[in-house]
Structure 1
Amino acid sequence: MKIVHQPAVADDASSVVKLGLKVYEAELIRLQIELVTLQQWVRDTGARVVVIFEGRDAAGKGSAIKRITERLNPRWCRIAALPAPTERERTQWYFQRYIEHLPAAGEIVFFDRSWYNRAGVERVMGFCTSGEYRQFLHQAPIFERLLVEDGILLRKYWFSVSDLEQERRFKSRQKDPMRRWKLSDMDLQSISRWVEYSKAKDEMFVHTDIPGAPWYVVESNDKRRSRVNVIAHLLSTISYEHREPPTVKIPARPPIGDYTRPPREEFTVIPDHAATLQG
């Protein structure tokens, strides 16, 4: 899979000074504690939260979602990263398959890409007709207003990365056996079709950056900075209150009594691989 740089118009993201690791880690922990507090408030009040993450390929959406959710209770927060639609789903109303992933009371759902696939990759790659695209631009604001009117807290983030930084990340993935799966031929189309994707994003904003559900742009040339920025902003947009979690009393351990554990030799214990490590 060869990556060849194409001359392109730079995205909105500008070069920034990298955020130091120690500062980043300290602030991330502080923000993650606040996210736990937010989740407790959502759980107690029955609020419903939807957070959409969109942007260029390799813009840092997935890693931001990972940092947001890694300390949260997975029973009450979900990541919706839908695959390509099935043949049956292609015959449904476009928004239909996304609706079933919307939150119930007390839940937070993070969309790692969303219904905006139609305004981005489907539009640029020709996976939808012009009529379907125009219908989406008309219906998306209506759909989102209905969600907001029903009480859902909807937040939409666009991760903006420069063309050169995107290419650098692609090359880094290409060399990393643990991240190579994140690089596909479809991803590489974002290099050769950079301008087309830029135009598609601009038109999408014109039609869907609405008062009740505005777009928030996250400059993501520096991933550390973008992560703490998006978490801090998300927290600032929700008027949550600190809620003490229910007090859990740890009971005293009862006496063993007449219980005797079977001999260890009767169990199949996995080998102690850790003992072979130098440490």
Structure 2
Amino acid sequence: MDLHSANSSYSEYVPRLEARKLSLAYDCTIILERLNLAIHADRITVLVGPNGCGKSTLLRGLARLMKPNHGQVYLDGRAIAKLPTKAVAKRLGILPQSPVAPEGLTVKDLVAQGRYPHQNWFQQWSIEDEQQVERALALTEMREFTHRPIDSLSGGQRQRAWIAMTLAQNTNTLLLDEPTTFLDLAHQIEILDLLQELNYQEGRTIVMVLHDLNQACRYADDLVAIKQGHIYNQGSPEAIMTEALLADVFGINCKIMADPVAGTPMCIPIGKTTKIKSEAAQDVG
């Protein structure tokens, strides 16, 4: 039995992350209101929804980067607000949306920052720190850019460097806000495959925001569909990825069919041009 299966019974009872009646706001604008959500350990959970619905805000709230207006976030059953900062950082890694590195910082310097939670006055840089940095660089195929300044890289290379920093932190839970941003299709699949391997082989809990619904369905154990600051539905991709949901949450007409490779739900959008072409073909026929 692999680690993914071995932990499943435990994860059913104790959520890795849990939001209870969570409300989050920017200034006086409420983004999420009294939201309840349980993220189970040893699973990949993907947040989906239209732009501005609150996906990134929810991720920031779960990571304790935002103070709730109401409610609580719990990490392994304990109120995250009451845990020491380093204790949280050892258990929870986050890749925010469009992070910015200080000018002149090299790739290795950035990735090494992921080891900060594991250091103190009595234990500075260690062999394990070096090993975790090298492993993260290798996993993200960034070794050849080790000494390059971050600001000299392409958008996709920068994104992989930030992912490497998150991996070097070596936490059992990863929160990633659009980890495939700026990446070409080949690197998108490589990164998503890597996250899936970390989940299956090492039991990492993964929570991420994805815009590509077909990729979300292929890689997620659980989908959470968000609409206007509320959870519209959550469950397995097969259970919730329906034509009705996509029409109501995203405002698009589509057809759902089985992915010919993975067997997961695949969304085929029906735009105006597609509809016109289809009708024209039928007329000709």
TM-score in terms of structure 2 length: 0.34
Would you tell me which structure has more strand in proportion to its own residues? 2
Structure whose alpha-carbon radius of gyration is higher: 1
Higher RCO structure, 1 or 2 (CA under 8 Å, sep 6+): 1
TM-score (norm 1): 0.35
